[in-house]
A and B are shown apart, each in its own frame.
Chain A
Amino acid sequence: MANAALRNVKVLPNSANMEEARHRVFEFFRTACRSLPSVMEIYNLYDVVSVSELRSSVASQIRNNIHVTDPKVIDMLLFKGMEELKNVVDHSKQRHHIIGQYVVGRQVQDSATKDPDTSTFLKNFYNTNYF
């Protein structure tokens, strides 16, 4: 069912304004949440994580880009997000990929960003690569 729904998704034209882009973000989030039961079934994640925790993980990933105000950048991020969701639902990833990115990924990122021993040079270097 999730596969069929995602198969019909086409690349939309660019958002005209910020409101339309915001609307599309919520639509993408809704689509992703509706796919989570299928993802749990495909990768057999019942003993590792729950649907609500995965939903929170997806929401936190969207929240990481809360500062973006350019509709074109938002459209690009949505395209990448939809591509990622399609890869997940079509089983183009393995179980440990899902666990590494969406179950324990936040902890690793949090510890990395809060490392006080890293020098300013390396911090700026990492930032430029990630953003």
Chain B
Amino acid sequence: MATNALAGTSLSMRSLLPQTQAFTSISGLRSASISSFGRKNVSFSLQPRSIRLKISCAAKPETVEKVCKIVKKQLAMPETDVVTGESKFATLGADSLDTVEIVMALEEAFGIAIEEDSAQSIATVQDAADLIEEIVQKSS
């Protein structure tokens, strides 16, 4: 009698466990799908607004400023030196390899990919900023 009762309880426990596991997995899937669906909605709603807000013909001043900072860092220039939009890389002491390195640093900073033909045409900070703005607008 005692052994039969113990076997019965163990059987009942075994039968309960997979049901609870299945239930938790189902609820997990539901919550995952709901959250992903919500995220998609949020992303869809945000994109058109960002596109509408971006109506700029020339590069923004903050972009030019960021480019100037990166150029200073790459060329190891002191903070007292003034780098403006009209500064040429050649006058700042950059050779051709330095220019390519600056372009790669800008790619990393802005998360974009500048094509080779476009990179060759860059001679001043303003050119770089304009190109970056153009690529960012195309990608977004």
Contact = CB atoms under 8 A, between A and B. Distances in A.
A26 B100 contact: yes
Contact of B100 (A29, A51, A52, A56): A29
B81 interface: no
Nearest to A26: B100
Interface in B49-78: 73-74
A30 B97 contact: no
Interface string B94-124: 0011101100110110000000100100000
A47 to B, nearest CB: 19
Interface string A49-68: 00110011001001100000
Contact of A27 (B105, B108, B116): B116
Interface size class on chain B is 10 to 19
Contacts, number: 33
A19 to B, nearest CB: 11
Nearest to B105: A52
B96 A30 contact: no
Contact of B96 (A22, A27, A55): A22
A99 interface: no
29 contacts: A22-B96, A25-B97, A26-B97, A26-B100, A27-B116, A29-B100, A29-B101, A29-B104, A30-B100, A30-B104, A30-B116, A30-B119, A33-B101, A33-B107, A34-B104, A34-B107, A51-B108, A52-B73, A52-B105, A52-B108, A55-B101, A55-B104, A55-B105, A56-B101, A59-B97, A59-B98, A59-B101, A62-B97, A63-B97
Interface of B: 73-74, 96-98, 100-101, 104-105, 107-108, 116, 119
Query: Nearest 10 A-B pairs (CB), nearest first?
Result: A33-B104, A26-B100, A59-B101, A29-B100, A59-B97, A51-B108, A55-B104, A55-B101, A62-B97, A52-B105
